[in-house]
Structure 1
Amino acid sequence: MPNPEDYAVGWICAISTEYVAAQSLLDEKHGTPSSVARHDNNDYTLGRIGEHNVVIAVLPDGEYGIASAASVARDMLHSFPNVRVGLMVGIGGGAPSPSHDIRLGDVVVSAPRDGMGGVFQYDFGKTIQNQSFQATGFLNQPPMVLRTAMAGLRSRYESEGHQLDATIRDALDRRPRLQKKYSRPDQTNDRLYQSNIVHPIDSTDTCNIVCGDEVNKLVSRRARKEDEDNPAIHYGLIASANQLMKDAVMRDTLAAEMGVLCFEMEAAGLMNQFPCLVIRGICDYADSHKNKEWQGYAAMTAAAYARDLLCRIPPNKVEAEQKIKDALSQVVSNIDYLKSERDRKEDLEILEWITPMNYGPQHSDFFNRRQPGTGQWLLESAEYKSWLSERNKTLFCPGIPAAGKTILSSIVVEDLRNRTANDAETGLAYIYCNFKRQHEQGIEDLIASLVKQLSRKRPRLPDFIRKLHGKHTQEETRPSLDDLVEALGSVATMYSKIVVVIDALDECTASDRARSRLLSHVVNLRTATAVNLFATSRHIPDIEREFKGSLKREVLAHEEDMHRYLVAHMKYLPDFLTEQNGLKEDIKREIVHAAQGIGEFHPREAQDSNV
């Protein structure tokens, strides 16, 4: 019995007509495999074409589409682990155009074009009003050995012509019972109707009866000359989807915009799991006038081309290829990387659309103004440690003007950034309120900023935000506050805990109750996940009432921070002072004494009238 390890070429068919055509072109038919994988439900025919051992499989009867094809390929690779090149061979719907005179019985071969691997999934894309169709899926291209053989065969056909019809006649002469179904139909039965002529859905009559043969209904095409290939071979893009294409208008649109030559239903399920060359014999024109008259012959022309292709490849070239099952994990990884990069770019564009506001530069500026080592008294305080360790806690730090609250907030933000950098379950967002920037700190702006910051850490945006962007982009509108609050809730559910820092609440605009509404929306997130809030403010009764019952630590002068600052800046004093150690100590002592109780000591911040 044949050993599965001896087969390096995998050939997949979608329907039994294609399966029969493939078997008819084997030079030698082998027996059944000695064994297959335990859960492999495929039916196999083993044989030889030229010097290659070939395993042929067919999709289950009555099953079509991307998922079924992927399942067949997966099982084949489990049972035949030495398969190194793949072919998807069968029938498809042609897409004739002024630049491609595609006719029934012709062959279309997938060939890379314009950055695509030869196949694209046309139901995995998007249409934008007044713009061309945009493909959004990434599919792998055929192995190099197949593309090289395809180029060589194409050159040979151009200079010498092909003998596909002779190959088909020879195969059918050996199998007379196949001749009726698989021979070439009469050329008069090849009708290409104008795109606006639709075959009635409820009619069972043939096209020549119900649609007619009038000149004004058919696309005028000249007869092919004797020195022209017939069937002709076309190379280019094949469109694949889970749906049968029976729409002449859509066919023509994709042919014009994407350069599509053929439509089918399986290849998109293979290219990323079973990198292969797709070969399709044209049995109809992907319109409403479909019938099965040309299916047998189209299956034979595709199989005959596949046979010529294999005969052109030396066996050692196939053996030099990596096993598909070994290459698959790397291919999938690369495809996933490309897709994730594309998705990430799109996500960042959506977040920029939500709000261009970015508090990052402000944070860096404030944090860089601190005296290194200051603020540790807060980070090491019992209140801060309790706030960090417990869930749904609020820590409020009020202080007098110029007490250093903003610098202290930046120290807290930096500490939280370091703590959450490698924690995918904890989200961090921060806001630096500023009375000089109230025009960009309305309640919608503030909520949008929280949405943007919390979304940026996720590998993918919530579906709600993507749909929100799509809706408003199409209508050229902006999201409402309710939209933004719902978006904030949707991203909050992606974390087990969220930490929000709001600095200088007293500088948040009070005209639309933005301050209290912001706090309310943040606290309401606790219905979706744990939320810890840190806030600073001047002593304002209305604000302090908002934090009644919360943890509280007032921002006051801290002796160690003052010493750090003074030591660092004594060098700027005149020489006659710095040379007298006793005098230096007296100066430090007096400054520290004078600052007791007036607030956290941050002279740099005191120079900024905004804080």
Structure 2
Amino acid sequence: MTESSLGRDFKEQQSNPQAGADRSGSMFSGASNFNAANSQFQSATTINIEHDGDAQIHQAAMTINNNWKTDDVFAIRKWLKAPDPSTNFVAACDKRTPGTGEWILSDPQFVEWREATSGVLWIQGKVGSGKTFLSAAIIQELKADSASLCCYYYFDNCDNSQARTNARGLLQSLLLQMATRSGGVHPALHELYTKCTEGLMEPTTAELSATLEVVSKDLSSVFLVLDAMDECSEAFDVLKHLAQLKKHTCIAVTSRYLAETDYEVSWYIQNLFVRMLPNT
């Protein structure tokens, strides 16, 4: 897509925010009210053992390493203070009638997205159309695949602290999900923790974003599911952070139909993320 065509699309989006969504035709068969535009980390602390045959030295090194893992994972979790999206996920699963939303799992457009190494699946729907149940169905399906890593996040404007509506909360949660796995911590996150005086200082949002980008590059087959983008108070900032991950991550986003004032967000998804699915 040329720069001139991007500018033309942007102007069209300003005058008619739904223009980009309406021109594509029908999308999900059997659905209504929708429009869809592993690794394991080793400990950052390493101990070089010159005498491989010395079982006692090796055992001592492993003991130190395991203690470091346990203590530092706990400390870093406490330091990040990341919002926990599992509460929303569990609530959605408990309310969802078995089979609800599972139509999307066999849809050709979803299958194409899932089989790709990167790309963005944007699902829009009316209020009460079941987008959160769709997210839950997708997350459950992806988490059942041990060959890939599924991270997820729920934007929630019912949170009085606003931590679940801004970009920082998302970055904190994704970094915790991606960088603390199998009892270990990714070296990049541990380095940031050390830089912040062993957790005495808060990391900047820019530092969180840069660290997340480094961590994500070391992972293979990563899926990211974001629910209720319309409840995000910093959607444009979030999308700019996600643009750094999209080269090696499959991202699914759900939202209500974007309002006229959200044309910037819609334009950004369509033209910078590029991958839009057709309408129903």
User: Structure 2-normalised TM-score?
Assistant: 0.71
> CA–CA distance in 2 between the matches of 1:428 and 1:483?
23
| Structure-1 separation of matches of 2:208 and 2:195 | 13
Query: After the TM superposition, which residues 510-525 of structure 1 pair with which residues of structure 2 at under 5 Å, given as runs?
Result: 514-525=234-245
The answer to whether the 8 Å contact 1:503/1:536 transfers is yes
Assess if the C-alpha contact under 8 Å between 1:383 and 1:551 holds in 2. Answer: no
Q: Is the 8 A contact 1:391 1:532 kept in 2?
A: yes
**Residues 1:475 and 1:498: Cα distance change in structure 2 (over 3 Å):** closer
- Which 5+ residue runs of structure 1 have no aligned equivalent? 1-135, 139-267, 275-327, 557-611
1:367, CA displacement in angstroms?
A: 1.2
Letter in 2 for 1:366: A
Amino acid at match of 1:435: N
Give, in whole Å, the separation in 1 of the partners of 2:121 and 2:46: 47
Q: Which runs of 5+ in 2 are unaligned?
A: 1-44
1:535 is paired with a residue whose SS is strand
How far residue 495 of structure 1 moved from its aligned partner, in angstroms, is 0.7
Cα offset, 1:553, TM superposition = 6.3
Q: CA deviation at 1:387?
A: 0.4
Seen in structure 2, the aligned counterparts of structure 1 residues 526 and 408 have a Cα distance that, compared at 3 Å, is closer
- Structure having the larger proportion of residues in helix: 2
Distance in structure 1 (CA, Å) of the matches to 2:63 and 2:121: 41
Q: Cα distance 1:137–1:488, how it changes in 2: closer, same or farther (>3 A)?
A: closer
Q: Give 1:459 deviation, angstroms.
A: 5.5
Which residue is equivalent to 1:496? 220
Structure 2 equivalent of residue 405 of structure 1: 131
CA RMSD between the two structures: 3.0
Q: Aligned residue for 1:36?
A: none
Instruction: Describe the shift of the 1:351–1:493 C-alpha distance in structure 2 as closer, same or farther (beyond 3 A).
Output: farther
Distance 1:546 1:372 in 2: 35
1:440 partnered with 2:163: yes
**Equivalent in the alignment of 1:559:** none
Measured after TM superposition, the shift of residue 350 of structure 1 is 0.8
CA distance in 2, matches of 1:475, 1:379: 41
- Which of 252, 258, 261 is equivalent to 1:534? 252
Contact 2:239/2:269 (8 A) holds in 1: no
Letter in 2 for 1:523: A
Please show how residues 130-169 of structure 1 align to structure 2 within 5 Å: none
Task: Give the corresponding residue for 1:451.
Answer: 175
* Distance of aligned partners of 1:458 and 1:137 in 2 relative to their CA distance in 1, 3 Å threshold: closer
Mapped contact 2:193–2:199 kept (Cα < 8 A): no
Deviations 1:289-315, CA, capped at 9 Å, x for gaps: xxxxxxxxxxxxxxxxxxxxxxxxxxx
Separation in structure 2 between the aligned mates of residue 341 and residue 361 of structure 1, nearest angstrom:
29
Question: Which whole-Å deviations, capped at 9, do the CAs of 1:330-357 have from their partners, x for residues lacking one?
Answer: x846852662353144123213311242
Residue identity in the other structure for 2:141: D
Deviations for 1:120-175, whole angstroms, at most 9, x for unmatched residues? xxxxxxxxxxxxxxxx999xxxxxxxxxxxxxxxxxxxxxxxxxxxxxxxxxxxxx
Higher relative contact order (CA 8 A, sep 6+): 2
Q: What is the distance in 1 between the residues matched to 2:96 and 2:215?
A: 33
1:501 aligned counterpart, secondary structure: strand
Q: Which amino acid aligns with 1:492?
A: S
Letter in structure 2 aligned against 1:363:
F
Does 1:482 pair with 2:200? no
The structural deviation recorded for 1:392 is: 1.7
**TM-score of the pair, normalised by structure 1:** 0.34
Letter of the aligned partner of 2:101 in structure 1?
G
Give 1:357's aligned residue.
83
The residue number in structure 1 matching 2:7 is: none
